[in-house]
Amino acid sequence: MKKFLALILVLAMTLSLVSCGTSGSSQSNTSNKTLNIGVFEPASGDNGAGGKQETLGIQYANSVTPTVEINGETYSVALKIVDNQSATDKAPTAAQQLVSDGVSVVLGSYGSGVSMAAAPIFEQAKIPAIGASCTNPAVTQNRPYYFRVCFIDPFQGSVMANFVKDQFNAKKAYVLNMLGEDYGSGLATYFANAFKKQGGEVKAEAFPEGTSDFSAYIQNAISYGADVIFAPSATTYASLIISQAASAGCKIPITGGDTWESSVILDAQKGTNLKVYVSTFFDENDKSGVAATFVTGFKAWLNADPQRKTDNGGNDIVAAVSALGYDAYMTAIEAIKTANSTTGEDIKNAMPKVSFDGVTGHISFPNGGDAAKSEAFIKQADNGAFKFIKRQSSTS
Amino acid sequence: MSRILPYLLGGISVGGQYALIAIGYTMVYGILRLINFAHGDIFTAAGFFMVYATASLPLYLSIPLVILLTIFMGVLVERAAYKPLRSAPRMSVMISAIGVSYLLQNVMWYITGGLAKRYPVIPWISDSVTVLGYTTKRVTIITPFLTVILVIALVILIKKTKIGMAMRAASRDFETAQLMGIKIDNVISFTFVVGSALAAVGSMLYFSNYATVTPVVGAMPGLKAFVAAVFGGIGSIPGAVLGGFIIGISETLIKGAGLTTFSDAVTFALLIIILVVKPTGLFGEKPTQKV
Amino acid sequence: MKTNRIPQSFKIAGAFLLLLAVVLMLDNVPGISVMLLIVLRKGAIYALVAVSMNLLNGFTGLFSLGQAGFMLLGAYTYAILTIPVGNQALVYQRYPNGGIGFSVTESLGRVLGQQPGLLLGVIICLILGGIVAGLFAYLIGLPVLRLKSDYLAIATLGFAEIIRAVVQYEKLGPITNGSNLLSNFTNFSNFHLGSLKLDTVMPFVFAGVCIWVITLIINSTYGRAFKAIRDDEVAAEAMGINLANHKRMSFIISSFFAGISGAMLAMYQASVQATIFKAAMTYEILLIVVLGGIGSISGSIIAAFLFVGSSEWWLRFLDNTTVLPNFNAKLLLAIIFAAVVVGVVSLVAYKQNKAQKGRSAAVGRGRKLLALKPSGVITIVVGALVLLGDLLFLISPDLQLPLLRSGFRMVVFSVVVMMVVLFFSRGLMGDKELPDLFRTRHKRL
């Protein structure tokens, strides 16, 4: 009886195997021509909050520019969204899912670790990938098929080092990041190197995954006599660090990288007297042309659907990663138009020719896959909103 | 000494939380000889219940509701997943526990969308207080006292009441206790009731301190609490509490010493040491050798 | 009797070669779903781990939860030894002068020519990965193997966590790259035979050879000693089996193959990071072993493919929000769903009723119309609620299927696993092997 059931189970599985194998290719039954763009973002896990915001930016861009002209024909652009769960072991399968969905170009991911894990798969399938906010340099190094529209961590690290020296005259820094997290450990190292080059001292520590208790680390920072704490990490841990620093009565200013530009940080800082600063790619209050149009349009789009507002963190504050997502999508559209083809290989070859004014600045790829970005925005999390402090470049 | 004090405080706080979870493990193991892997996930579920309850109900209603829901969940898990396998070999039950843990984590992941949720602030215990020159949350100070009070209440329960006697009998010899007319199902359900209630209280203290709830947040504390139970002597409640504090303090001191990579590993190293040196744990009883 | 045994192993070998040919064809024929290939590759790797865990848990009766730690060791050893020298500076970014300065596959490639050198290098590194894992198993086994089953489980789990922490230690960074990703080493896509891709055949070949070795061990005197230890330790010792030695041997062999499978996992993922080798990975393998049947090698293999297929591929549609095209489709779906629910509930109720009636008839009690245990009543109530939900969905205006969104796949999957653990605790194959199914039943005399 049980063996019979087992055989039935296996037969059922095989049948669905056959149907799944063919159904993936027969989806496009409409009369329009469609071009698939893959969205490779986390929707759950440590980076889920940021990934959702980045996806919102891409979806908004898709609603603004839903079609593209190739060889005189109009193609409608369909987004294929997968969730890489912020995990480097789930990322390859999610990437393969996109490949088998027949995408021409991939956007993403939020999170350098998953981008690096998926890069060989996109490369093998000859599909170019445009990262929006993954800042670790290893994502594009030696990877001709990976591009990004944001700045990279060596730049971001020195920007923060310059900022803390200017703002706080900091001589000692306490650096904290998560073990095994490529973005955080990379950015921490670059910051530490830049800070030491300025003549400062650094104490660096790493916490294991799943840590909830940061009181010991905060104590370490206090007893070290740090002038500033630099803790690039996912938002889940950031909110714990901030609230525990507040309850320990720690007065040291806390700084983070671009992942900290999120409503999670605002919620954590609200009601405390902590000084929290982040470096990021975009400022909502930037009044220059393209950015202002984007901000008004995006806010209206967010407010039109309550689910979108929830995904954005329950409000309509424009996150920098959404702006980057928007720019990534537009970059892809530009590349497709220049390449005049839906083949991944052609789009990849067209990328160096792309040059336009995006929401986060001018986008071009002068060498390799990294966009030429020379400025970062420093903001302060102050009682529920981000206050723009200054624009910082790496040499000031 | 003053340098170590903040670490000690932190260690005592987290140790108290481990102790509350460890009691649940040790009681279940004492009677059923089962490592209830799902206990850590019930602890996490209690955290999520609170997040969702306070979204629509005031705090003084949410707290008892959360405790009731956690108890209900604990008993449900026992009835559905452990009772049918009571006569099966030990490994099957442990695998069932792992399966339940897997199921609970995936259900929580699905319901919450995988994003971290912020735990509501419980007034008074979340306020900052200053102790000996160091600022910390009031909950840090309350936890060890509350733990000790609960443990004393529990020990009185076990030593002086009928149901406590039934629990002791069942943990000494399962089959004979049944022969003596003890309704074993009720005893086991009661054990899970107490264990889950303590986990719910522990979760309130834990999440008041570390205010982010994710579906996997209970896995590591659950495992460490089990190590604490083994360390103190499985089946012994004071042992579990002492084990919890020792594990919590050593973990925080290691972090303070700068070897943060090993803060999880040191817990397991302590476990291995105690298993090799004194397998029955600090307060464990030596089983009588039968020839 | 002896003359019958040789053809059976030839049959199995022949079947395996046929399987390899099919997989080779799948690798190279265009249009085959990529997901199928992924399931095959990952399934082969998990099959090997499951069999190695089965050797320890199912055949020797030692409940160990340290598999993930040994896989980690094998994966890291393999990755460190095969990163090409040119890429080492790139990978070890945070540790200048990191990396071991040479690469086994590269060095052999220079000597023997690219492909043969690659193959030989990979085989050597796989075996080295297994040896490192086996070495640690020996060291860990010294204090731990004399503990009883539950404590052994927790102690091995603890050691796996300790190994994971040590590998991530900063001071070991120049070799292990600390907690960062190791990548750019030799993986399955580097193999080709002329212009034939061997991406999926290679894991099958490696896993097949290893499983064959394990089967040989199980069918030898050592295997019989292991089974004796599982059945009754005291009796085994009385029969002259040295408990400590055999337990240690089983532990080391199982860890050796777990290390090799860890290295293969590294090759499959093309990146290695300590954080993925968590206790959760060990639990998954344990579930595979239980699903397949503790004590059955072919059961573990089949269950591994079923597990990987279900969790990665077949159930993926449950994760996508699906909008039905029109009302007719919704009606059809609702009717089919209702039919399935009614069918399952009545089957369960009928079987329980028959069993209960049989029991009361044996005792000689009076007739009852419907005799059911509480669990049967609960099943009927749940079924009724589900049908009600189905009806509500039918009459509601929207066409989007409820419940289907990200994460539902894993929920369904865990429920199925729990069903198997609770109701089919002997697993798919119990403790029988696949050839047993084909054996002709002898009529009772």
Please write the tens of the pLDDT for every residue from B79-120: 888 888 887 777 788 888 988 998 998 888 888 877 778 888
Enclosing domain of residue B172: 21-218
pLDDT, chain B, mean: 84
Give the per-residue pLDDT at B286: 59
Give the per-residue pLDDT at C362: 61
Confidence of residue A5 (pLDDT cuts 50, 70, 90): low
Residue that wins the pLDDT comparison between A274 and C426: A274
Give the per-residue pLDDT at A243: 85
B269 contacts in C (CB within 8 Å)? Answer: 158, 162
Q: Are A162 and A133 part of one and the same domain?
A: no
Confidence of residue B140 (pLDDT cuts 50, 70, 90): confident
Cα-Cα end-to-end distance for chain C: 20
A210 contacts in B (CB within 8 Å)? Answer: 216-217, 219-220
Contact status of A313 with chain B (Cβ, < 8 Å): no
CATH number at residue A200: 3.40.50.2300
Q: Do B114 and A213 count as a contact with CB atoms less than 8 A apart?
A: no
Contact status of B250 with chain A (Cβ, < 8 Å): no
- Does residue A5 belong to any structural domain of this protein? no
Per-residue tokens: B158: 């076990």
Give the per-residue pLDDT at A396: 41
* pLDDT (tens digit per residue) in A352-377: 888 888 888 788 888 777 877 777 88
Q: Which amino acid is at C13?
A: A
Q: Are A208 and A337 part of one and the same domain?
A: no
- Does residue B4 belong to any structural domain of this protein? no
From the list B268, B162, B267, B229, the residue with the least C-alpha distance to B24 is B229
C169 CB-near residues (< 8 Å, 6+ apart): B261, B262, C176, C178
Q: Are A84 and A134 part of one and the same domain?
A: yes
Give the per-residue pLDDT at C49: 94
Give the per-residue pLDDT at B36: 87
Q: Does residue C8 carry a pLDDT above 80? A: no
| Helix locations, C313-398, DSSP H | 327-363, 374-395
Q: Are A48 and A161 part of one and the same domain?
A: no
B209 contacts in A (CB within 8 Å)? Answer: 212-213, 244
Q: Are A276 and A385 part of one and the same domain?
A: yes
**A22-31, A119-128, A378-387, C133-142, range with the lowest pLDDT:** A22-31
Contact of A25 with A102, CB cutoff 8 Å: yes
Confidence of residue A24 (pLDDT cuts 50, 70, 90): very low
**A26-40, B267-281, C10-24, range with the lowest pLDDT:** A26-40
Of A21, A117, A124, the CB nearest to C33: A21
Give the per-residue pLDDT at C262: 93
Select the residue from B272, B273, B290, B291 to test the C interface by mutation, using most C Cβ atoms within 10 A: B272
**C66-75, C306-315, C397-406, range with the lowest pLDDT:** C397-406
Q: Do C153 and B94 count as a contact with CB atoms less than 8 A apart?
A: yes
Segment C68-97 mean pLDDT: 83
Segment C24-28 mean pLDDT: 79
Percent of chain A residues topping a pLDDT of 90: 7
Residue that wins the pLDDT comparison between C385 and B73: B73
Indicate the number of domains in chain B.
Answer: 1
Task: State how far the alpha carbon of C233 is from the alpha carbons of B92, B279, B281, C240, in Å.
Answer: 19, 20, 25, 11
How do B128-131 and B134-137 pair as beta strands? antiparallel
Residue that wins the pLDDT comparison between C427 and C442: C427
- Does residue A8 belong to any structural domain of this protein? no
Interface of C with A in 293-312 (CB under 8 A): 306, 309-310, 312
Q: Do A142 and C90 count as a contact with CB atoms less than 8 A apart?
A: yes
Residue that wins the pLDDT comparison between B177 and C103: B177
Residue that wins the pLDDT comparison between A371 and C1: A371
The segment with the largest mean pLDDT, out of A74-83, B123-132, C255-264, C361-370, is C255-264
Q: Are A90 and A118 part of one and the same domain?
A: yes
Report CA dihedral (C32, C315, C322, A64) to the nearest 10 degrees: -60
A286: left (phi over 0), alpha (psi -120 to 50) or beta: beta
- Does residue B179 belong to any structural domain of this protein? yes
Residue that wins the pLDDT comparison between C426 and A296: A296
A45: left (phi over 0), alpha (psi -120 to 50) or beta: left
A232 contacts in C (CB within 8 Å)? Answer: none
Domain ranges of chain C: 2-318, 323-403
Q: Which amino acid is at B274?
A: I
C423 contacts in A (CB within 8 Å)? Answer: none
Q: Are A271 and A172 part of one and the same domain?
A: yes
Confidence of residue B75 (pLDDT cuts 50, 70, 90): very high
Select the residue from B212, B213, B252 to test the A interface by mutation, using most A Cβ atoms within 10 A: B212
Q: Which amino acid is at C360?
A: S
Give the per-residue pLDDT at A26: 37
Give the per-residue pLDDT at B289: 47
Q: Are A160 and A274 part of one and the same domain?
A: yes
Percent of chain B residues topping a pLDDT of 90: 13
* pLDDT (tens digit per residue) in C340-373: 778 877 877 777 777 777 666 665 555 555 656 6
Give the per-residue pLDDT at C72: 93
Confidence of residue C445 (pLDDT cuts 50, 70, 90): very low
Give the per-residue pLDDT at A17: 45
Q: Which helix (H) or strand (E) holds B137?
A: strand B134-137
A42 contacts in C (CB within 8 Å)? Answer: none
Give the per-residue pLDDT at C5: 55
Please report how the helices C67-82 and C104-112 are oriented relative to each other, as an axis angle in degrees rounded to 10: 50
Segment B125-151 mean pLDDT: 77
Contact status of A96 with chain C (Cβ, < 8 Å): yes
A43 contacts in C (CB within 8 Å)? Answer: 406
Give the per-residue pLDDT at A21: 39
Q: How many CB atoms lie within 10 A of CB A222?
A: 19
* pLDDT (tens digit per residue) in C241-289: 888 899 999 999 999 999 999 999 988 888 888 888 888 889 889 888 9
A271 contacts in B (CB within 8 Å)? Answer: none
Indicate the number of domains in chain A.
Answer: 2
Q: Do B271 and C161 count as a contact with CB atoms less than 8 A apart?
A: no
Q: Are A64 and A116 part of one and the same domain?
A: yes
Please report how the helices B138-160 and B5-32 are oriented relative to each other, as an axis angle in degrees rounded to 10: 30
Which long-range contacts (C-beta less than 8 Å, at least 24 apart) are formed by B267-271? Answer: B267/B224, B267/B227, B267/C158, B268/B227, B268/C157, B268/C158, B268/C159, B268/C161, B268/C162, B269/C158, B269/C162, B270/B227, B270/B231, B270/B246, B271/B227, B271/B230, B271/B231, B271/C154, B271/C155, B271/C158
Enclosing domain of residue A361: 33-151+290-365
Confidence of residue A30 (pLDDT cuts 50, 70, 90): very low
Chains that touch C (3 or more CB pairs under 8 A): A, B
- Does residue B270 belong to any structural domain of this protein? no
Segment A132-143 mean pLDDT: 82
- Does residue B283 belong to any structural domain of this protein? no
Residue that wins the pLDDT comparison between C73 and A383: C73
A234: distance to nearest CA of chain B, Å?
Answer: 11
Q: Do A20 and C314 count as a contact with CB atoms less than 8 A apart?
A: yes
Task: State how far the alpha carbon of C35 is from the alpha carbons of A80, A85, B270, C23, in Å.
Answer: 16, 18, 44, 14
Ranges assigned E (strand) in C220-323: 271-272
- Does residue A25 belong to any structural domain of this protein? no
Per-residue tokens: B138: 């009031």
* pLDDT (tens digit per residue) in A157-209: 888 888 888 888 889 999 998 877 778 888 888 899 999 998 889 998 888 87
A364 forms beta bridges with A355
- Does residue B235 belong to any structural domain of this protein? no
Q: Do B261 and A235 count as a contact with CB atoms less than 8 A apart?
A: no
Q: Are A228 and A334 part of one and the same domain?
A: no
- Does residue A208 belong to any structural domain of this protein? yes
Give the per-residue pLDDT at A113: 83
Of A44, A213, A267, the CB nearest to B109: A44
From the list C82, C37, C272, C185, the residue with the least C-alpha distance to A117 is C272
Q: Do B114 and A267 count as a contact with CB atoms less than 8 A apart?
A: no
Q: Does residue A131 carry a pLDDT above 80? A: yes
Give the per-residue pLDDT at C171: 76
Of A10, A83, A88, the CB nearest to C273: A88
Chains that touch A (3 or more CB pairs under 8 A): B, C
Segment A215-237 mean pLDDT: 88
Q: Are A361 and A382 part of one and the same domain?
A: no
Give the per-residue pLDDT at B74: 93
Q: Are A84 and A176 part of one and the same domain?
A: no
Confidence of residue C128 (pLDDT cuts 50, 70, 90): very high
Give the per-residue pLDDT at B2: 64
Contact status of B101 with chain C (Cβ, < 8 Å): yes
Q: Does residue A387 carry a pLDDT above 50? A: yes
- Does residue B104 belong to any structural domain of this protein? yes
Cα-Cα end-to-end distance for chain B: 52
Q: Does residue A18 carry a pLDDT above 60? A: no
Percent of chain C residues topping a pLDDT of 70: 86
Q: Do A220 and B219 count as a contact with CB atoms less than 8 A apart?
A: no
Q: Does residue A343 carry a pLDDT above 70? A: yes
Task: State how far the alpha carbon of B229 is from the alpha carbons of A70, B21, B149, B157, B239, in Å.
Answer: 67, 9, 18, 19, 7
pTM: 0.83
Give the per-residue pLDDT at C361: 63
Q: Does residue A395 carry a pLDDT above 60? A: no
Give the per-residue pLDDT at C442: 55
C320 contacts in A (CB within 8 Å)? Answer: none
Give the per-residue pLDDT at A16: 45
